[in-house]
Chains A and B, each alone.
Chain A
Amino acid sequence: GAVVSQHPSRVICKSGTSVKIECRSLDFQATTMFWYRQFPKQSLMLMATSNEGSKATYEQGVEKDKFLINHASLTLSTLTVTSAHPEDSSFYICSAGKAGGRFNEQFFGPGTRLTVL
């Protein structure tokens, strides 16, 4: 199998607070994890590529100081949205690629719905 979990599934927070989202690969090791943002009825927008033990690579236009990514182990990556504002409200999804996997296949978590009041 290739199961990826995310926690929490839903979070509501006040403007100005920070929120941490965890992404775990449950039955495989993931040297690389990816964080996406998805707006209603739209495709996925890649935010950053997270590599175990090194700094994340952010896509153009994504503020690295606002969206802090840590990939401390082969099964866990975290995304922290710092000083969240209502415009950060979105569906955040992580995915993981298997270590030694073929064809860059990615396995997705169930997503986290963030609502900033």
Chain B
Amino acid sequence: TQLLEQSPQFLSIQEGENLTVYCNSSSVFSSLQWYRQEPGEGPVLLVTVVTGGEVKKLKRLTFQFGDARKDSSLHITAAQTGDTGLYLCAGASTGRRALTFGSGTRLQVQP
């Protein structure tokens, strides 16, 4: 069974601070996606990383895929209250249509 562990599970920070969320597995994934979900809504796709070592930036968010394609990180610079939500990583595997979702990181940014 493939597992994706996210850490930390919960993070409460002040506006303007930086943070990093980690997504780790013992399995290799063909690609990895990050989603953000707000309460009462469905997850929204933020980014897909495909190549080992790849770094993608989305405004204040920086995503990195590990060299071995087993782990990923999400770094947020100067967090804003609008960044509050549940962050989910999800790994794709060859031959399987379904994604393996991480355990989730709940981020709360205080004003």
List residues of chain A with CB under 8 Å of any chain B CB.
4, 6, 32, 34, 41-44, 46, 49, 91, 93, 95, 97, 102-111, 113
Q: Closest chain B residue to A93 by CB distance?
A: B42
Complex interface: chain B residues within 8 A of A32 (CB): 97
Number of inter-chain CB pairs below 8 Å: 59
Complex CA gap A85/B101 in Å reads: 27
Complex CA gap A49/B99 in Å reads: 10
Instruction: Tell me if B45 and A105 are in contact (CB < 8 A).
Output: yes
Instruction: Tell me if B43 and A104 are in contact (CB < 8 A).
Output: no
Instruction: Tell me if A106 and B88 are in contact (CB < 8 A).
Output: no
Within 8 A of A (CB), among B19-73: 30-31, 33, 35, 40-45, 48, 50
Q: Which of B33, B35, B42 has the most CB of A within 10 A?
A: B42
Instruction: Tell me if B101 and A46 are in contact (CB < 8 A).
Output: yes
Complex CA gap A90/B34 in Å reads: 23
Complex interface: chain B residues within 8 A of A6 (CB): 42
Instruction: Tell me if A103 and B30 are in contact (CB < 8 A).
Output: yes
Q: Closest chain A residue to B35 by CB distance?
A: A108
* Range class of the B interface residue count: 20 to 34
Determine which of A102, A103, A111 lies in contact with B42 in the assembled complex, contact meaning CB atoms within 8 Å: A111
Complex CA gap A103/B99 in Å reads: 10
The secondary structure that dominates the A interface is strand
Nearest CB on A from B98, distance (A)? 5
Determine which of B42, B96, B99 lies in contact with A109 in the assembled complex, contact meaning CB atoms within 8 Å: B42
Determine which of B41, B45, B102 lies in contact with A106 in the assembled complex, contact meaning CB atoms within 8 Å: B45
**Top 6 A-B pairs, shortest CB-CB distance:** A108-B42, A104-B92, A103-B31, A43-B104, A108-B43, A110-B42
Is B103 part of the binding interface, using a Cβ–Cβ cutoff of 8 Å? Answer: yes
Q: Which of B50, B92, B102 has the most CB of A within 10 A?
A: B92
Nearest CB on A from B89, distance (A)? 10
Complex CA gap A114/B31 in Å reads: 32
Complex CA gap A108/B88 in Å reads: 13
